[in-house]
Each structure stands twice: as structure tokens, then as C-alpha cells.
Structure 1
Amino acid sequence: MSADTAPRYTSYPTAPHFHSDVDGATVEGWLAAIGEGERLSLYVHVPFCDRLCWFCACHTKQTLRYEPVAEFVAALMAEIELVGRLTDKRGKVAALHFGGGSPTMLKPEHLHQVMGALRGHFDFLPDAEISVEIDPNDIDEAKLDALAEVGLTRASLGIQDFDPQVQKAINREQSFADTKWVVDGLRARGVRSVNLDVLYGLPHQTQESVAATMAQVLSLRPDRIALFGYAHVPWFKKHQTMIDEAALPGADERLIQSQVAARIVAEAGYDIIGLDHFALPTDTLAKAARAGKLRRNFQGYTDDLCETLIGFGPSSVSRYRQGHAQNIPATGEYQRQVRAGTLPTARGIVFTDEDRLRGWVIEKLMCDFSFSGRQALELFGAAARKVLAEAAVVSQDEAPMLVREGDLFVVPEQHRVLVRVVAARFDPYFSKGTARHSAAV
């Protein structure tokens, strides 16, 4: 693996190191250990789209028929019931996120059924956040109404880029007018927070086209903006071979595009959050970052402090206090196992004490660009000394990307764009594994 690639560290240990020793029986024990009143997060993965965007690295499949989606919904309801019996309403749901794929492919009646099942088997806190990833091309008035009726509090819309040439090159044609219509419709229905996702490093993108897209994004005044570098991983997602590699910007151009976009957003009054997020100062994500409470999970940066995240649907990843668990990726096999009354766990990993320590260090670097030696010792005791010694060695590099400032080990501002590479220095799995990762910028 080259030094300019690294995991995105939405989990630690990362998914390539999960294994089949973690199975349904393991997860049953972890679910049974959830404490009375423990705050929970839930994630629902909808593995379908009505078109396949060539840039996408998510677990999804294209379907132009609704029957497979309806069959999936029936299996999803069975999984919710199964997990609900095992948790027996001991936890309190503080956050629910629908991802995909395209969750907005669900018909209103199915969205209501899924939410009814979730509320029937889990106790939701009155202020629970309910968020949904939205493809503006899937939305109509009835779906907007249904989202509002199930209690949507935060919407996340994929934009990628508004330039027609770029959109054609990634098979994602989506006008600014259609996007604005959805944003306006959500706000008219009382949805209090809107996030917009934008990509740089796409085919045919230039600094000028990125700047133009950011200006249009800012005209919608979203509460949050996520600015991601396109991950070109055709060895992992075969449909990315449809993208003309000759049209992709090089590493230097990618870096400049990210800097141009970030500068435009920051100058518009948004706080910079971690590596690639931005938020209005009044947003809860910005408040969490200022308070040192920013977290990172499978959805990226979050203000969700729950230690337990339960995933539903094919390929979804759960995080328990004891470890990670991932569901079967293949939708058909997932459905067969759930209908047989067994948890559809395919693999996972049990945390060691060292995993917890290194996971804390990596999350701190990804969220705060620093970590405290004193806090590491307070949380993990003498075991932290090994990692602190490693940090001291990294800080003595000829051109260090980690420097010591009193009690803190800090990533200097000029190196923060490469924080994933810094985090990988504390990841012993990284150097031993064979997984290929995306560009670090």
C-alpha cells in the first residue's frame, strides 16, 4: 500500500479485518448485554437504486421493478422483529439513520410500515434524531409528506456536482432546480436540518467547475456540507470501470479542488468539521466539535454519542461495546436467513483492549487532529504508554506530520488534509493487511 492511500477510519478495526468467527450467536450475546436505558443508534440499509451512479462505492443494486424492494421490506420487518425480541426494549433510541442505496425508493406505505415496526420494537426518546439519505430524483410530494409524517429531523441529499458534463460522466444527471425543489419542500414541512454531499476528484471536474457547484450549494444555505474526495476503486466496485480514467484529475489537481471548495465554504461562515465536513455555527455538529465531543462512525462525522449502533439490512455494520458485526451483503441470502429466524450476521471482529485504545487515538486524530497523552493514560492506564511512545517516534520524523505541544500530540494545520495517513501510523492492521484503499486526499 502506498503512503498516499489509507482507510477512511469510519471504524476501527476497519472492515477488511472482519472475520467469520463473529456470527449470529455472537451477536445474540451482545444484544442480550445491552443495558436498561442504554442509548442506542439504529441504521437501516436499503440496498436498491433505480439507477446505478458510476461513482458510487456503496452496497446497492439497480432495479427498475419494485417487487424486489417490497420483498426486501418484508425481510427487513422480520429482522427488526427478531432483534427487537432479543433487546426487549431495554435500550432507548436516540438516533435512526436510513442509508443505501436509495432509501427514498421506498413507497410511502412501506416507509410507514418500517417506522411502525421500529417504534413497535424499540423505545424512541422524544428528541430522537431521524435522518434519511435522499436522492432528489426519487422524490415526489407524497414521499415528502411521508418523510415528515414519520418524524424526519435531518435530510442528507447527494449532489456530487451540478456541472452537466461531470454528471453525464458519472451517470448522475440531477438539475439544480430539482434539488432546490426538494430542499424547499423539506423545509416547508418542518425538517430542521439539511445536509448536502459534494464530491471533488470526479471526471472532467476543474477548479472552476467545483467553485461553481459550491456557489450553487451555498445558495441553498444547507446546515451541513460534506465534501468528499471521489474514491476510484474499480477493483472493489466494477461499475466504476464505466468512468473514463483519463478524465480523472491527478493527485495535485484533486488537492487544489478540495482546497478551493473548502475555502469557499469557510468564507461563507461555516465551521470546518474534521477532515471533510462543514456546518453552520448553530448546528449541533459544530457545537459538538467546539465542545470536543465530535465522533466518527459508519456515517462519517457525527454528534451521536451512543456506544451501540445496531444495523439492519444487507451489508449493514453494527457497533457494540464488544465489537463490530456485519450483515450478509447478498440481498437474497440475507432475506433467506432472516426468514429462517436467525440473525443474518456474516462476519465481524471482537475488540481487544488494544483495539479500544488505538480506536480512541485514531478517532481523536480524525475528529480533533490531536490527542492528549494524559487523557490516554487516564482512560487506558499503563497500556497507553506503548502508543504514546509510538507517537513520540512519529513526532521525531524529519518532516513530522504529528508534533508534540505539551500534553498533546497534534497534526499541524498544513498536514491535516493527510490525517488519514497519520492515523494509519497507529493502525497495526494496516501494515499487515492486503486490502487496497482509496486516495488519502
Structure 2
Amino acid sequence: MTLPTPDMELSEELVRKFDKLGPRYTSYPTADRFHAGFTEQDYRGYLDQRAARSDNPPLSIYFHLPFCESLCYFCACNKIITKDHERVGEYLRYLDKEMALVASRLGPDRRTVQLHLGGGTPTFFNADELRQLMAMVRAHFQFTPDAELGVEIDPRTVQGGTLAMLAELGFNRNSFGVQDFDPAVQQAVNRIQPLEMVEAAVVESRKHGFESVNADLIYGLPKQTQESFGRTLDNLIRVSPDRIALYNYAHLPQRFKAQRLIEPSDLPSAEARLQIFLMSMRRLLDAGYVYIGLDHFSKPDDELNKARLDKSLHRNFQGYTTRAECDLIGFGVSAISKVGNSYSQAVRTVSAYYQHLDAGELPIEKGFELSQDDVLRRDIIMTLMCSAPVEVDGVNRKYGIDFNTYFAPELQRLLPYEEAGLITITPDAIRVTPKGRLFVRASGMVFDKFLGQPTTSTYSKLI
């Protein structure tokens, strides 16, 4: 079977050959390489360095809001299942403490071009609590007029005035967790949300001026078949979100306790999963969506596709973004920050988070300080992940190297990708071909010096 698309011919044989285990590269080095040797003092030092500079990039800020009322069995996020909404007030107080500590180190330059609320379920917080959070954020950070404010939404939490309230607070992008519309699949993962609920939420988003509406799907869930997921796609295409993320379910019950509630015999086979993916990609492309990269699709007029076309697409912990390179400040349990040439990650439990902040400490558990070689490799990997050309002369000038000598082993390992028509290698550039865009994780892995070293992570397959 060959999958026809407007700009590629993709065979099953090609998918099988290059469908390997690997990182998703929302960062490089990836988060499994973070270590406890990077401390709160190191993070403070990078914040201080930023405050001392006059040429800082703008800020992107992320808030991890971990509370959920019910457990979705597929979920691998850091979450707290509770019906006790009284816990929100305490968590907000500590978020404000953390923001105050960080802001005191940032200096006056707090231009912010992006905000994202993730979780957990951000809309577990009620209207007054979200208003309180955004008032605190605006007290510490200055949003630019064109700032992107995005929020993840569980459709089951949307009430009559929810989307109007979010728009009033300045949110202009949202993302709905759809996963699958099939009742049997929803029952198997403990997430019941009828099509009508999602459709009403998307319509309401349009009414209140949200500039981009995303829907997340997951393939490989229990009880899924090619036929049932085809119906989900048909219904979602009719709902017509601006963007669709098509994620591959990674069943890792040894790491995520909730997944132990899924019956392994209900999961589609590897062959069935492949057929579901190929069918899904064809269906979305036939419906007029454009393939952005990895698991992301958008309408042709969406800013993500415009950024892909003009080579301004970027990638960070929230996935693909139109924003140029930012310093990312994460707040809340397990949130990740990227400041200068460093990554840091907060503690995972609320109790430890509160304990650090009560002691006047930033709640850092681990992190990573990048060497010049790490920065160079990150630049190349992220360029490939966005399907943009790696321009040899530009890399040589920027990093003071001879690309062909420095990366001679990597260029050799790229040859099978060139032979398969996934990339082209010329003296001036490495370019991703149209059909190679599906395999950018694999080609990026060639430049990852940490692969092969011990890690606690289990990577997912590319497809």
C-alpha cells in the first residue's frame, strides 16, 4: 500500500524500515538527561545572567496546573486526582510565591510573547481562580500586544460561560483533548465525552474570537480499529478545528500506574496501529489539512503552516510554535524552564514544591547545563525537526567549525536516509524532502550524542 499525498509518496515499506524508537525532541538534550547535579543555585545563576544582559530574547511562560477530577487511564502527565477544589487556593498562593522569586531575579525585561496553561486540567480551576491566576501573572510579566495565550481544555469541564471567561482573560488559543469519539474506546480509557460536547465547545470558541482551536487525537488506544477511528476522523473533520495533533499512544504501565487499568489484549496490534496511522494521515490530507511535522496538522491558512513555509517554525516543550527562540520559564510542579544555555525542572510533588517555596527556594529538582557542542547539536536537531534546511556555511560561521569535518561520522550515518529519499545532502546544506518530514525524529537522532548512553526513559516509536 502506498499513501498518496499532495507532495509525497509514502510506502509501508519505508515506514517499517525507519519506524524506530526515539525521543520527540521538545528539547535537546532531552529531559531524561537532566540530573540532580544542576541545582536551584545554578538556575538562579542563569536568571541573574539574563537580568544582566541587554539583548535578551522574549519570554515564554508555562504553568503546570496538576488537578483533575477523574483519571484517564491513558494519561502519562503529572497530575493529582481530586474532587477537593479547596486545594486550588493554596496552589495559587504558592504559584505567586514562585513568580515573585523568579521575577525578582529577571530584572525589568519581562517582555512575554507566549503563555500556556497545561496540566492536569487547567479548567479544573473555576472562573474566579483563573482570574486570580491571570491577575498575578500580569503583575509580574508584561505581555506584548501580539502575545499568544493558550490553554488546554477538557471538554467535560466547559460550562456555559467558560470560553467567554477565558477570552475575557486574554486567551486567544485553546486545545481540546478529544482522543477518540468512539463510545467503546472512551469507556476503555475512562473518558466519556460525546461528540456533541466537543462540537459545541469548538463553536463557542469561534464565537468568542479564539484565533486557533486545536484538537488532540490519540491512535493506538484500547478497542480502537481502523473503521472506528475513521469515524472519529470524519466527525472531527466536520467540526473543523484549525489544528489537529495525532499522537501515538505509548503503553508503559511499568512507568504510569493509570495505564495498568488498560487491558493489554484490548490494544490494537502493531500492524493495526500502523494501518490506523496511514489511514488517518490520508484522511486528514484529503480533507485539506497540511502536514506540519511529527504528529501535527493544520489548515493551510493557519499560522503554523505559514511559519513552516517561510522557515520560521520553532519547537519547544509545547511542541511546534511560530514564536522565535524564547527563554521559557515554567511554574508549578514538574514544570520545565529553559533559560540561556540551561534547562531546569521543578520537583514533582506538591508537598516538596510547597516546602521549597516556604524556605525561600526555587523548587528545582534537576536540570542540565549545555556545552557549546550541546548548543550546536540542539540547533541542528531542532532545525531538522522543523523540516528546515541545515545550512552548512551558516553553521560554520555561527559556531566556528568545519561542518563536514566536525560531523563526518554523522554525515556517514545519514546516507541511508539520503538513499531512501528522506533527505538530500549537498556541500551547502542538509535538506528534508517532503516525504522525509515524517521521519525527522529519526534523522535528528543521528546528531544526538546521548543516544546509546544509559537512560531511565523508554522512548516511543516514531509511528
* Residue of 437, 440, 451 corresponding to 1:430: 451
Residue by residue over 1:170-209, the C-alpha shift from the partner in whole angstroms, topping out at 9 and shown as x without a partner, is 1111111111121122221221210111111111211112
Considering only aligned residues, what root-mean-square deviation do their CA atoms show, in Å?
Answer: 2.0
1:74 and 2:90 correspond: no
CA distance in 1, matches of 2:308, 2:415: 28
1:21 and 2:21 are equivalent in the alignment = no
Aligned 1:353-364 pairs, distance under 5 A: 353-364=372-383
| Corresponding residue to 2:314 among 272, 295, 314 | 295
Closer/same/farther in 2, CA of residues 38 and 369 from structure 1, 3 Å limit: closer
> 1:373 and 2:389 equivalent?
no
Deviations along 1:253-295, one digit per CA (max 9) or x if unpaired, are: 2222112111111112222101111111221111110011111
Q: 1:49·1:62 contact (CA, 8 Å) conserved in 2?
A: yes
Shift of 1:68: 2.1
Map 1:329-348 to 2 at 5 A.
329-348=348-367
Deviation of 1:61 (Å): 1.8
TM-score by length of 1: 0.95
Letter matched to residue 259 of structure 1: L
Letter in 2 for 1:272: Y
1:439 aligned partner? 461
User: Per the alignment, in what secondary structure is the counterpart of residue 157 of structure 1?
Assistant: strand
Please say if residues 89 and 121 of structure 1, whose CA atoms lie closer than 8 Å, have aligned partners that are also in contact. Answer: no
Give the Cα separation in 2 of the matches to 1:39 and 1:223. Answer: 26
Query: In structure 2, how many angstroms separate the alpha carbons of the residues matched to 1:96 and 1:275?
Result: 23
| Residue correspondences, number | 440
Conserved in 2, the CA contact under 8 Å of 1:323 and 1:350?
yes
Question: Retained in 2: the 8 A contact 1:47–1:331?
Answer: no
1:260 corresponds to 2:282: no
2-structure distance, mates of 1:253, 1:186: 34
CA contact (8 A) 2:34 2:367 kept: yes
State whether residues 181 and 195 of structure 2, in contact with CA within 8 Å, keep that contact through their aligned partners in structure 1.
yes
Aligned to 2:407: 388
Deviation at 1:375, TM superposition (A): 2.9
d(CA) in 2 for partners of 1:148, 1:414: 38
Task: Mark the CA change 1:226 to 1:208 in structure 2 (over 3 Å): closer, same or farther.
Answer: same
Secondary structure of 1:382's partner?
Answer: coil
1:343 deviates by 0.6
Equivalent residue of 2:22, what SS? coil
Asked if 2 retains the 8 angstrom alpha-carbon contact of 1:225 and 1:278, the reply is yes
Output aligned runs, 1:132-281, within 5 Å: 132-281=151-300
For residues 90 and 150 of structure 1, the distance between their equivalents in structure 2, rounded to whole angstroms, comes to: 23
Shift of the alpha carbon at 1:322? 1.9
Instruction: Provide, for residues 208-228 of structure 1, a one-character-per-residue CA deviation record: whole Å limited to 9, x for no partner.
Output: 122211111111211111111
Deviates more, 1:153-162 or 1:142-151: 142-151
Deviation at 1:361, TM superposition (A): 1.4
* Structure 2 CA distance for aligned equivalents of residues 85 and 191 of structure 1: 33
- How much does 1:379 deviate? 2.4
- SS at 2:415 equivalent: coil
Aligned-pair identity in percent equals: 38
Q: How does 1:35-54 map to 2 (within 5 A)?
A: 35-36=53-54, 38-54=57-73
Partner of 2:428: 407
Task: Please list every run of 5 or more consecutive structure 2 residues that lacks an aligned counterpart in the other structure.
Answer: 1-17
Q: Give SS of 2:74's match.
A: coil
CA contact (8 A) 1:328 1:344 kept: yes
What is the CA–CA distance in structure 2 between the aligned matches of 1:395 and 1:322, rounded to whole Å?
27
Q: Distance in 1 between matches of 2:19 and 2:57?
A: 40
Code of the residue aligned with 1:195 in structure 2: it is N
CA contact (8 A) 2:341 2:375 kept: no
Whole-Å Cα distance in 1 between the matches of residues 405 and 194 of structure 2?
Answer: 53
TM-superposed deviation, 1:416: 4.3
Q: Quote how far apart the aligned CAs of 1:241 are.
A: 1.1
Alignment gaps of 5+ in structure 1:
none
Question: Is the 2:314–2:325 contact (alpha carbons within 8 Å) kept by the matching residues of 1?
Answer: no
Q: Deviations over 1:363-396 (max 9, x none)?
A: 1221106523333223222164455313320233
How many angstroms apart in 2 are the aligned matches of 1:408 and 1:391?
14
Distance in 1 between residues matched to 2:229 and 2:314, nearest whole Å? 28
Q: Would the alpha carbon gap of residues 416 and 287 (structure 1) be closer, same or farther in structure 2, given more than 3 Å must change? A: closer
In the alignment, the residues of structure 2 paired with residue 249 and residue 419 of structure 1 have an alpha-carbon distance, to the nearest angstrom, of 25
Q: Secondary structure at the match of 1:20?
A: coil
Q: Distance in 2 between matches of 1:178 and 1:31?
A: 43
What SS is found at the alignment partner of 1:152?
coil
Look up the equivalent residue of 2:342 and give its one-letter code: G
Assess if the C-alpha contact under 8 Å between 2:342 and 2:369 holds in 1: yes
Q: Secondary structure at the match of 1:226?
A: strand
Structure-2 change in CA distance of 1:397 and 1:184 (3 Å): closer
Corresponding residue SS for 2:450? helix
| AA at the equivalent of 1:438 | S
Change (3 A) 1:437 1:395: closer
The AA in structure 2 aligned to 1:94 is: V
